[in-house]
Copies of this chain bind each other. A is one copy, B any other.
């Protein structure tokens, strides 16, 4: 996993997500700044003993089968140390997995190396051709739950993954439906909805839900994107809200966040968020907010408890941090509502 000079930063969200949730094992992380330590030393909550190494060559002895580009370099251009590692990995016949906006398959040098060494580059964000939204998602039999957020990068994917885990441990046939590059890297399928041409984004979301319906009988946890008042990403949020045809919504928020990331726009209150998401759904297919998942990773135990209590008091909804406290309490609290809204066969 390639994360030079940035493994502990927020730019390495891809690396952290895959270490925490992928069924594939991360055998080593490349970050020369932290070489010699291991993942648990620097990010204990990831619970991984994978070594951190200085270079791709140092990582080779741990027997990788793929090189994952674990961070998004600032500016979008691929720095020379990334290029060198990718070149070496292709020569070693490793698969390359990348969630960058720039498609590595479009790079002539990489494409030729992959061909010559009989391996492949998996551009996670490359979307399939999608049709227009058809309405077929309205007939999906499984209960569809969409995680919606107060903003991008607050924990919508994590909440969905944790709730799927809880559902499965309760005997429910549930699937996580990935809609972004990290979710796709974790689950091995999905579509990066933010890369789909705007006209076809709801259709692409619908196709994912139809595929999810083939993968799980009872419950689909559809990974949300962006936030409804994020001026850049809200169209993707809406594409999932309509195209994904949810029966219920779980609202995800990081209480440390007070403004929309990168913009001078305030985070909305719980009341306005719930009214806005439910109000939009009501115009196409009604879906209530059934729970709030708070991401309190940056807070102390006392602060977290206070925020959870405040969210419960303000909204009257079940509310928990599904990482700090595990997903079972929240899942059990919403399971009856899921059975009520549609036919959850659990």
Q: Is A309 an interface residue (CB 8 A)?
A: no
Q: Chain A 274-300, CB within 8 Å of chain B: the 1/0 string?
A: 011001100110000000000000000
| Chain A residues numbered 190-242 whose CB sits less than 8 Å from any CB in chain B | 193-199, 201-203, 228-229, 231-236, 238-239, 242
User: Are A194 and B197 also in contact (CB < 8 A) when A202-B231, A272-B283, A279-B279 are?
Assistant: yes
Q: Which residue among A132, A272, A283 has the maximum number of chain B CB atoms within 10 Å of its CB?
A: A283
Which among B132, B133, B197 is the interface contact of A197 at CB below 8 angstroms?
B197
A contact patch SS? helix
Interface size on A, residues (CB 8 A): 36
Which among B197, B199, B228, B264 is the interface contact of A283 at CB below 8 angstroms?
B228
B231 & A284 in contact (Cβ 8 Å cutoff): yes
Q: Which residue among A234, A236, A272 has the maximum number of chain B CB atoms within 10 Å of its CB?
A: A234
Which among B196, B235, B242, B283 is the interface contact of A239 at CB below 8 angstroms?
B235
User: Are A234 and B238 also in contact (CB < 8 A) when A279-B276, A283-B268 are?
Assistant: yes
CA distance A238 to B284 in the complex (A): 15
CA distance A66 to B193 in the complex (A): 37
Q: Chain A 257-269, CB within 8 Å of chain B: the 1/0 string?
A: 0000001110010
> Using a CB–CB distance below 8 Å, which chain A residues touch chain B?
132-133, 135, 193-199, 201-203, 228-229, 231-236, 238-239, 242-243, 263-265, 268, 272, 275-276, 279-280, 283-284
A199 & B203 in contact (Cβ 8 Å cutoff): no
B196 & A197 in contact (Cβ 8 Å cutoff): yes
Q: Could you say which residues of chain B place their CB within 8 Å of the CB of A234?
A: 202, 238, 242
CA distance A219 to B203 in the complex (A): 35
Q: Could you say which residues of chain B place their CB within 8 Å of the CB of A194?
A: 197-199
CA distance A268 to B272 in the complex (A): 21
The residue on B at minimum CB distance from A232 is: B133
B232 & A202 in contact (Cβ 8 Å cutoff): yes
